[in-house]
Amino acid sequence: MLSVHTSPLHQPGTGDAGGMNVYIVELARRLADLGIEVEIFTRATTGGLPPAVDLAPGVLVRHVDAGPYEGLAKEDLPAQLCAFTHGVMQAWAGHRPGYYDLVHSHYWLSGHVGWLAAERWGVPLVHAMHTMAKVKNAALAEGDTPEPAARVIGETQIVRAADRLIANTAEEGDELVRHYEADPRKVAVVHPGVNLDRFRPLGSTPSGEAAAQDQPRNPGHTPGTGLTAARTAARARLGLPQDALIPLFAGRIQPLKAPDILLRAVAVLLAEEPELRSRVVVPVVGGPSGTGMAKPEGLQKLAARLGIADVVRFRPPVGQDRLADWYRAASVLVMPSYSESFGLVAIEAQACGTPVLAAAVGGLPVAVRDGETGFLVEGHDPADYARMLRRFVPEPGAADPAGTLVARMGAAAARHAQSFGWDTAAARTADVYQAAMQERRRLRSAHAAHGHG
């Protein structure tokens, strides 16, 4: 596997580390469980890193020296691809011929290294875009910087070179065909997964039984009661009020993810219902990233300008277990993104029993069942988000302090998330690998036979 611009060992939610990091780590682990050994090549971003680190049994992370360790923006990485490729080839030279069976590259920068490596080694290239320049540029946030033409050209070349393209959703597969003229036969749809052992309502049984307690199987049993207890406990652990509306933003702080839309929506809500101010807490968990780096304090200043600095709580990125607690504590996760290839955060939150309010973009309509596990909003008008947030305001004295809608949708969300386990994603990815290798063998045989004739 190739992950040039972000290391699977980095903390998601800051810099360029996000859902893709989680994706690579979890997928590699589960592929190793299936007996597929994985080596992940990534760029060294600090000095003194060991050349190779065991991430898990059967998963090795290799650090490649390419460019300065720190202070190198993602936009400057294309100039380092030659050095990175050299590092990959050096590692390969130390192995017997035929050591690597297949290359799986993540994001366009890795795709260029993968293209060369796969060709050099005579193995298939499987590529996952994760995001696409043409799709991002078609839905830019106001004031955000468009992706450069060099990336568009690079992505087009990779689409042509790859043996297989993995898309997170059917819509992403269609975009590959529409925007990049991908051969539909090369495109395989594999939904990303979620770690159901980590992201679950606390008190539930790991992996597979997360929502069982919320099924109304016994007379007198109320759906969502287990979730209510989990939410109450999480709020206590995080020092959050029990009877508050808590809309959570979790992720990288950049215009693409649109955390400002949540703040503007809360300002609209409080302007219309000022009595709610004492019962609203808005946690923003994450660090500046991408074009958001230019104004790292921008969101704090916006909260002050909107007059809601007293209800917003900024928190740095946290580890996965702590993040699960933030999900459990929230009334609703808010994802007003302008573009999302899938929206892993939406599945993680739902697995914890929390509904999602999201923009109807990219893979989010697959991740969220509109009206059942959350709500999808067309466009980015803060007033539309405010109107939806109002539905999650708990009634004073309600059985569930977070509100009955939260309890009902949260139970449905936890059930829905069960179909997104990483084991399923890994098995389907392994099928894609198998198909790519079989086709490569078939073409080689046909070529040899033709040459012989």
Residue 6 has pLDDT above 70, yes or no: yes
Give me the sheet containing 38-43, strands edge to edge: 52-56, 59-64, 38-43, 2-3, 103-106, 125-128, 164-167, 187-189
Burial (CB count within 10 angstroms: exposed 0-12, middle 13-18, buried 19+), residue 434: exposed
Is 17 annotated among the ligand-binding residues? yes
Q: Where are the domains of the chain?
A: 2-193+421-452, 212-419
| DSSP 8-state secondary structure symbol assigned to residue 68 | -
Q: Distance from CA of residue 27 to its chain's centroid?
A: 12
More confident residue, 201 or 2: 2
Of 87-101, 149-163, 401-415, 430-444, where does mean pLDDT reach its minimum?
Answer: 401-415
Query: Does the pLDDT of residue 210 top 50, yes or no?
Result: no
385 is in an annotated binding site: no
412 in a labelled binding site: no
What does the mean pLDDT of the chain come to? 88
**Contacts (Cβ under 8 Å, ≥6 apart) of 211:** 201, 204, 353, 411, 414, 415, 417, 418
Query: Are 308 and 282 spatial neighbours (Cβ–Cβ below 8 Å)?
Result: yes
Supply the pLDDT for residue 232. Answer: 92
* Alpha helices per DSSP H over 139-224: 149-161, 170-180
Per-residue pLDDT at 448: 83
Is 32 part of any known ligand binding site? no
| Cβ–Cβ < 8 Å for 421, 194 | yes
- Torsional sign, CA 176, 178, 180, 183: positive
Whole-model pTM: value is 0.80
List of E strands, 168-318: 187-189, 247-250, 282-285, 312-315
**pLDDT at position 218 over 50:** no
Does the annotation place 232 within a ligand binding site? no
The reply, when asked if residue 301 is annotated as ligand binding, is: no
Confidence band of 209 (pLDDT split at 50, 70, 90): very low
Q: Determine whether the annotation assigns residue 61 to a binding site.
A: no
Fold annotation for 212-419: Rossmann fold (3.40.50)
CA distance 41 to 7: 8
- Please report, rounded to a whole number, the percentage of residues in the chain having pLDDT higher than 70: 89
Query: In the predicted model, is pLDDT for residue 81 greater than 90?
Result: yes
102, 124 contact by CB (below 8 A): yes
> Mapped to the 3 state alphabet, what secondary structure does 263-282 carry?
HHHHHHHHHHCHHHHHHECE
Q: Known binder of ligand: residue 380?
A: no
Rounded to an integer, the average pLDDT of 68-95 is 90
User: Do 2-193+421-452 and 212-419 have matching folds?
Assistant: yes
18 belongs to an annotated ligand binding site: yes
Q: Give the chain's count of helices (H) and strands (E).
A: 15, 14
**If you compute the radius of gyration of the chain from its CA atoms, what whole number of angstroms results?**
23
- Which three-class secondary structure state does DSSP give residue 103? strand
pLDDT of residue 211: 36
Residue pair 440/124 in contact by the 8 Å Cβ criterion: yes
Q: E strand or H helix at 425, and its extent?
A: helix 422-452
User: Is 318 flagged in the annotation as binding?
Assistant: yes
The answer to whether residues 371 and 222 touch, using CB atoms and an 8 Å cutoff, is: no
Query: Is 453 marked within a binding site?
Result: no
Instruction: Please count the CA atoms within 13 angstroms of the CA of 379 that sit on its side-chain side.
Output: 7
Q: Which CATH number fits domain 2-193+421-452: 3.20.20.60, 3.40.1280.10, 3.40.50.2000, 3.40.50.1100?
A: 3.40.50.2000
At 423, which amino acid appears? D
78 is in an annotated binding site: no
Residue 245 DSSP class: B
Let me know: does 355 contact 336? Beta carbons within 8 Å: no
Lowest mean pLDDT among 6-10, 307-311, 363-367, 423-427: 6-10
> Binding site annotation covers 354?
yes
The stretch 239-266 carries a mean pLDDT of 93
Q: According to the model, what pLDDT value does residue 20 have?
A: 84
Query: Is 74 assigned a ligand-binding role in the annotation?
Result: yes
The residues, ordered by sequence, that sit 6+ positions from 209 with a Cβ below 8 Å of its Cβ are: none
Any known ligand binding at 20?
Answer: yes
